[in-house]
Structure 1
Amino acid sequence: MRGLISAVIAAGMLLVSLAAASAQEMIDQLDLKSEDFTQAEMSRDDIVAAIAAAGDGVVDLSGKRLNNIDLSGLDLRKLKLQSARINGTNFKGSNLDGVVLDQAWALESDFTNASLKGASLFSTQFRDAKLDGADFQGARVAADFTRASLKGANFQDANLAADMTNQSMGLMRGVFRSSDLEGANFKNAEMARVVLEYSSLRDADLAGADLMGAELGGADLTGANVAGANFNEADVNSTKLLSLRGKAEAKNFGSVKNLDRAYVE
């Protein structure tokens, strides 16, 4: 039985690795300088007018090219942006609460201090984006934030965990590789199997977060609050676990993987 369980776990880890590789290969094969990723088919004024004309209705901009335009400071809650191209777009201080951004491309976009409470971010691409101070409270976040800046971002009560029910496109979960999450709030967030490799979580609040099976290799958790956080089977290979706050209240800390390879006091 142990052999069978080990084989199943190994197969699952292989699928995760293949899914991550496939995602990178997909991006590498795209022409990010093409019109799809650089041009816009609507202006700020066009979008403002569409919102005003919609009344209580939804403005469906799914699949639209809205790259590199200024949408800062706007109330965009009526929009639907599924599969939209919003690369390099400025959303500073905008309100996107509850907006569907599933499968949208937001490479190098600016969401500084934007509100995305309760938004749907399934397979959304935020690579190299600016999201400092963004509010994702209660959102469904299965997005790629590789190399993104998320200082002070709020993920309280958000669901970033892996979707174990639909894996046809690979394991969808929050991915934060080499991301800056200094001072971010993950209080009570669902983070099972989330990828946080080589990210900075210095002084982050992980109180009550479920980090079961999370990939924390090379991450920096110096000064993080981990009171009540569940570390069951989390991988801490080369992770900085220094000056942790609430460590005595953390759950299953003794069952983390590669603790002998982590930086501990």
Structure 2
Amino acid sequence: MSPRKGQRMSPRKVGAVYLLALAVVAAVLTLTGEREERHGRRCTAPGAVLLPDREVPATDLSARKLRCANLEGATLDGVVSEADLRESNLHRVRFEGAGLSNVDLSGADLTEAEGRRAVLDGVRLTGADLRDAQLSGAAFTDVGLDGARLHGADLRDATFRRSDLRKADLRGADLRGAELTDSDLRGARLDGARLDDVTYVDVLCPNGKKSVAGAC
């Protein structure tokens, strides 16, 4: 029973309420800390290169076999080409305005990556995890995104040319103003995606049909 008006709580009850309040605060702080300390998926392959939270010039990655590398939080500069970065950890990697050419990122973790206005040419992202990635204004040409997870990604004004998005998970993604040309969307999931002003030219739509008059 709650105390009557004017009736004071006993010291024992006051103590219990105080402990409960402390427990709630501790739980909130714990959850907040877990969010702040969230890391990407790490590959435990022996000998994997470890370059987290560093500025990494393109020359350090180009034409190298770096499968399972840890580049979490790193900043990539220049144009990375001919690199094998399959299953690597690129959580929160920054490559804004940078370029990726013929790079294999199949199965890689690029969650929360920041690649606004990046240029991707001949990149393989099959089965890669790009949830919540910031890729507005990025240009994708001959890119394999089949089976990729793009849930919640920001793809505003992005361009896709001759790219494979079959069975890609685009639920909740922001594709406003995006342009897709000669690309394959068969089986892609677009539930809750923002599709205002998206244009489709010679695209195979999620239902398997060809785009008509710029629409799917």
- 1 CA distance for matches of 2:75 and 2:180? 28
Deviations 1:112-170 (CA, angstroms, capped at 9, x unpaired): 001111111112221111110111101101322211111011110010013xxxxxxxx
- 2 CA distance for matches of 1:146 and 1:89? 17
Distance 1:192 1:234, change over 3 A: same
Q: 1:207 aligns with which of 171, 178, 181?
A: 171
Matched, 1:86 2:71: no
Contact 2:99 2:120 survives alignment (8 Å): yes
Root-mean-square deviation over aligned CA pairs: 2.2
Contact 2:53 2:72 survives alignment (8 Å): no
Aligned-partner residue type, residue 111 of structure 2: Q
Aligned to 1:228: 192
After TM superposition, the structure 1 = structure 2 runs for residues 111-260 of structure 1, keeping only pairs within 5 Å, are: 111-142=85-116, 143-162=118-137, 174-243=138-207, 260=212
Q: 1:98 aligns with which of 73, 79, 101?
A: 73
SS in structure 1 at match of 2:95: strand
Structure 1 runs, 4 residues or longer, greater than 2 Å off: 82-86, 258-264
Aligned-partner residue type, residue 260 of structure 1: V
Deviation of the 1:217 alpha carbon? 1.3
Distance 1:83 1:90, change over 3 A: closer
Distance 1:72 1:78, change over 3 A: farther
Q: 1:76 aligns with which of 26, 29, 51?
A: 51
Distance 1:78 1:241, change over 3 A: closer
SS in structure 2 at match of 1:196: strand
SS in structure 2 at match of 1:145: strand
- 2 CA distance for matches of 1:232 and 1:185? 21
After TM superposition, the structure 1 = structure 2 runs for residues 20-99 of structure 1, keeping only pairs within 5 Å, are: 73-82=48-57, 84=59, 86-99=61-74
After TM superposition, the structure 1 = structure 2 runs for residues 8-23 of structure 1, keeping only pairs within 5 Å, are: none
Flag structure 2 segments of 5+ consecutive residues without an equivalent. Answer: 1-45
SS in structure 2 at match of 1:241: coil
Deviations 1:182-204 (CA, angstroms, capped at 9, x unpaired): 00011000000111121000000
Contact 1:201 1:221 survives alignment (8 Å): yes
- 2 CA distance for matches of 1:232 and 1:259? 16
Q: Indicate the percent of aligned positions where both proteins have the same amino acid.
A: 27
The structure with the largest helix share of the pair is: 1
Q: When the two structures are aligned, how many residues end up with a matched partner? A: 169
Of structures 1 and 2, the larger Rg is shown by 2
- 1 CA distance for matches of 2:53 and 2:171? 33
Distance 1:179 1:229, change over 3 A: same
The structure with the largest strand share of the pair is: 2
- 2 CA distance for matches of 1:83 and 1:240? 34
- 2 CA distance for matches of 1:153 and 1:72? 22
